[in-house]
């Protein structure tokens, strides 16, 4: 009888399928199939990009000024060539002229579009113009970069240290979760650039280990500005703004006061030599929701430049394939394992030496732990990244994942902001985020700098309220629905 029931149900399903074909074209049947990004395609594309950069770097040794970099200061040209880049990304091309001239700037661009260098290189140009070098010892950091997470702060500091080879400018990175003593010791070496999280920076100010003034810290950056200006950071940001942006401050002039050369540079920039100049402020992010625009405006000068480099209202790289599958909550573990098995099978059939890496997002720490345990039982090398892990544990997890020693990283949104994980082909939203802004940041961990990427998301009934905007987002990026 059970077999007869199964046969009848199959027959009914077949009839429904025939009926669906005869329905009007306006009624779309959602597909449950997931078209995988072929790992070999992603790998070959990444290899081609690496060869192109290597060739550009080799050519750059002979051609000091690549054509697309000629409009920019020599430092920017030298650094870009040293890294194998012969042209700026769109956000860099938009930001560099305004930022180098001392103008406040708000930049919105998709994840992986090169925002870090868009603000970092002009800041270092400004520091050099003010007379800073490896031999100067500023009383406080001339450049201050605020980041919402420890991981992003460390990543930005790494980029700063790459530029040090050309400039000698010192960088210190500070963040919570580790003892202050070593950070206080490093601040005693008078760094030119300070990168850190707001909470730890204020702790160091309160302890008297760090001095922040408008005249001293004259180049201020808020990276991932939308999260920095959200409610969770608002009290800390208000305190920092009171320290750095006095109500009656003058426009940006000189970056610190290392000597006569600095004053001349400040005059050349049109600063006027004010006693308490207003710092130059830059805000960069992948999204700028309406609810934080008013908060952002309090940081920016009235004549700030506002640039949005997007293909739509909220942008995701066109090299990323997005797949959203509607499913029941209890079916997600099996679907995740099936997806990972398909990726593994594709890689093995292509005889790849290393399995492609997969970043899996969950909304709760409890879920992260459950998934990590489940994947380990299935034979996957999985690591975790969430807010309750110690800083050494988080750094070890990131190191293993970036090096390819772990195939899967399961993370909360602490990993979704600004992190640059090269050659990451796959992202999975095990738990769909409650906002599309967070979805954009998560998906942006793959497809970095025009590489191919694949984002697979589970969507459950409780998120029906954002189904319409999600469909609009997918359609705007020419994704199948």
What are the pLDDT digits (tens) for 312-341? Answer: 444 677 788 899 999 999 999 999 999 999
Q: What are phi and psi of 106, to 5 degrees?
A: -120, 120
What per-residue confidence (pLDDT) applies to 35? Answer: 58
Distance CA 272, CA 343 (A): 60
Q: Which residue has the higher pLDDT, 447 or 433?
A: 433
Q: How far is CA 76 from the centre of its chain?
A: 21
Per cent of the chain over pLDDT 90 is 45
Distance CA 229, CA 288 (A): 10
Question: Sorting pLDDT into bands at 50, 70 and 90, what band is 260?
Answer: very low
What per-residue confidence (pLDDT) applies to 274? Answer: 45
Report the DSSP beta bridge partners of residue 285: 108
Question: Sorting pLDDT into bands at 50, 70 and 90, what band is 165?
Answer: confident
Residue 447 pLDDT exceeds 60: yes
pLDDT in tens, 95-152: 999 999 999 999 998 777 789 999 999 999 999 999 999 999 998 999 999 999 888 9
Coil, helix or strand at residue 122 = helix
In sign, the C-alpha dihedral spanning 107, 111, 114, 115 is positive
What per-residue confidence (pLDDT) applies to 193? Answer: 97
Per cent of the chain over pLDDT 70 is 76
What per-residue confidence (pLDDT) applies to 204? Answer: 96
What per-residue confidence (pLDDT) applies to 168? Answer: 93
Residue 5 pLDDT exceeds 60: no
Segment among 2-6, 39-43, 225-229, 439-443 with least mean pLDDT: 39-43
> DSSP letter at 277?
B
Q: What are the start-end ranges of the E strands in 55-133?
A: 105-109
Hey, what's the torsion of the CAs at 77, 80, 86, 88, to 10 degrees?
-90
What per-residue confidence (pLDDT) applies to 1? Answer: 58
Residue 31 pLDDT exceeds 70: no
**Residue 425 and residue 446 in contact, taking contact as beta carbons nearer than 8 Å:** yes
What per-residue confidence (pLDDT) applies to 51? Answer: 52
Hey, what's the torsion of the CAs at 298, 301, 302, 304, to 10 degrees?
-110
What per-residue confidence (pLDDT) applies to 85? Answer: 77
**Stretch 240-252: mean pLDDT:** 73
Residue 443 pLDDT exceeds 70: yes
What per-residue confidence (pLDDT) applies to 40? Answer: 55
Computed over every residue of the chain, the mean pLDDT equals 80
Coil, helix or strand at residue 281 = strand
**Stretch 434-460: mean pLDDT:** 82
pTM here? 0.62
**Structure tokens belonging to residue 317:** 């790289």
Segment among 37-51, 172-186, 244-258, 353-367 with least mean pLDDT: 37-51
Highest mean pLDDT among 94-103, 244-253, 338-347 belongs to 94-103
Question: What domains can you pick out in the chain, each with its CATH number?
Answer: 2-42+314-476 (3.40.50.300), 88-309 (3.40.50.300)
What per-residue confidence (pLDDT) applies to 383? Answer: 95
What per-residue confidence (pLDDT) applies to 143? Answer: 97
């Amino acid at each position: 009888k059970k077999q007869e029931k199964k046969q009848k149900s199959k027959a009914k399903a077949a009839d429904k399928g025939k009926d669906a074909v005869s329905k009007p074209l306006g009624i779309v049947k959602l597909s449950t199939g997931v078209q995988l990004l072929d790992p070999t395609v992603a790998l070959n594309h990444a290899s081609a990009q690496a060869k192109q950069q290597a060739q550009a770097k080799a050519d750059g040794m002979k051609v000091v000024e690549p054509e697309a970099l000629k409009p920019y200061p020599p430092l920017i040209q030298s650094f870009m060539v040293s890294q194998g880049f012969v042209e700026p990304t769109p956000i860099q091309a938009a930001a560099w002229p305004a930022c180098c001239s001392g103008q406040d700037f708000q930049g919105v661009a998709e994840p992986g579009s090169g925002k870090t260098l868009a603000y970092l290189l002009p800041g270092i140009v400004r520091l050099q113009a003010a007379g800073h070098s490896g031999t100067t010892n500023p009383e406080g950091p001339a450049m201050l970069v605020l980041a919402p997470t420890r991981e992003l702060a460390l990543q930005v500091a790494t980029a700063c240290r790459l530029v040090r080879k050309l400039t000698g400018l010192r960088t210190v990175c500070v963040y919570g979760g580790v003892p202050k003593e070593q950070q206080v010791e490093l601040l005693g070496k008078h760094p030119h650039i300070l990168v850190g999280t707001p909470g730890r920076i204020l702790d160091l100010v309160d302890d008297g280990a760090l001095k922040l003034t408008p005249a001293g810290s004259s180049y201020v950056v808020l990276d991932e500005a939308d999260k920095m200006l959200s409610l969770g950071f608002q009290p800390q940001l208000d305190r920092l703004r009171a320290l750095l942006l006095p109500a009656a401050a003058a426009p940006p002039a000189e970056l610190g006061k290392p000597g006569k050369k600095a004053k001349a540079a400040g005059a050349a920039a049109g600063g006027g030599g004010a006693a308490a100049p207003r710092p130059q402020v830059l805000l960069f992010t992948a999204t700028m929701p309406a609810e934080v625009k008013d908060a952002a405006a309090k940081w920016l000068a009235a004549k700030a430049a506002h640039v949005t480099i997007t293909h739509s209202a909220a942008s995701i790289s066109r090299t990323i394939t997005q797949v959203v599958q509607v499913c029941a909550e209890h079916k997600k573990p099996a679907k995740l394992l099936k997806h990972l098995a398909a990726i593994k099978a594709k890689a093995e059939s292509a005889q790849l030496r290393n399995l492609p890496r997969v970043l899996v997002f969950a909304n709760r720490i409890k879920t992260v732990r459950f998934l990590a345990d489940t994947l380990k039982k299935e034979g996957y090398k999985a690591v975790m990244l969430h807010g309750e892990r110690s800083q050494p544990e988080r750094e070890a997890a990131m190191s293993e994942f970036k090096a390819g020693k772990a195939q899967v990283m399961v993370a909360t949104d602490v990993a979704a902001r600004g992190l640059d994980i090269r050659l990451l082909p796959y992202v999975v939203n095990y738990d769909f985020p409650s906002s599309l802004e967070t979805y954009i940041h998560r998906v942006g961990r793959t497809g970095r700098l025009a590489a191919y990427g694949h984002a697979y998301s589970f969507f459950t009934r409780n998120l029906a309220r954002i189904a319409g905007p999600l469909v609009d987002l997918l359609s705007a990026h020419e994704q199948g629905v």
